[in-house]
Amino acid sequence: MTISLENERTPRVGDRRWPVSYSEVSDIRLPPIEAHRPIVECQFRRQAIVAFESGWAVSVLWGSLTFSDNHDHFYVDDVVFTDEPECVEVGILWRDEGLIGDPYGYVAAHALNVLLITVSQWPSADVPGVRVVPFLR
């Protein structure tokens, strides 16, 4: 099962599609780092944020150097970037406060679906003083 951003509004996790409030797909080309390496480096950024009416949101990242299948892309030779990884980096967001707790790394597609379903059911009243989110298994 893989994760992809079919278009800017609909990420796909396996066969399931989720509505997106924000997405970014960008490729940044950088000049060669060293003179003896005349290749142009390219860093990719992929992000989708799925927001829920309760104020909770889930940020999904799978760009270069993220804790996803693309972690080694950019600074390790011969690592190919994938737009449809099997594991991604995930963060839980709360309204204007941003990231709550630490992000989860290398989250598989089936666990991401479970997390999205779980967060979609969290009531907004649970927030005051809470800084802990459920552990993913």
pLDDT at residue 108 is higher than 70: yes
Q: Higher pLDDT residue, 29 or 54?
A: 54
Nearest CA among 91, 88, 92, 43 for reference residue 66: 88
Residue 25 corresponds to which tokens in the numbers above? 């797909």
The helix (H) or strand (E) run that includes residue 50 is strand 41-51
Q: Span 131-137, mean pLDDT?
A: 49
Selected residue with higher pLDDT from 49 and 81: 49
Task: Output the pLDDT for position 91.
Answer: 93
- Reported as a pLDDT band with limits 50, 70 and 90, residue 137 is very low
Q: Where are the domains of the chain?
A: 3-126
* Cα dihedral: 95, 98, 102, 104 (round 10): 70
Share of the chain above pLDDT 70, in %: 65
pLDDT of 131 strictly over 80: no
Predicted confidence (pLDDT) at residue 90 exceeds the cutoff of 90: yes
* Residue 132 identity: V
SS3 124: helix
- Nearest one of 51, 58, 55, 53 to 128, comparing CA atoms: 55
Region label for 48, one of left (φ > 0), alpha (ψ between -120 and 50) or beta (otherwise) = beta
Residue 60 has a pLDDT of: 92
Those residues whose C-beta lies under 8 Å from the C-beta of residue 9, and which sit 6 or more positions away, are: 19, 20, 23
Q: What is the mean pLDDT of residues 82-88?
A: 87
Alpha-carbon distance of 78 to 88, in angstroms, equals 20
- Whether 108 contacts 88, CB under 8 Å: no
Write down the pTM of the prediction: 0.74
pLDDT reported for residue 12: 62
Confidence of residue 76 (pLDDT cuts 50, 70, 90): low
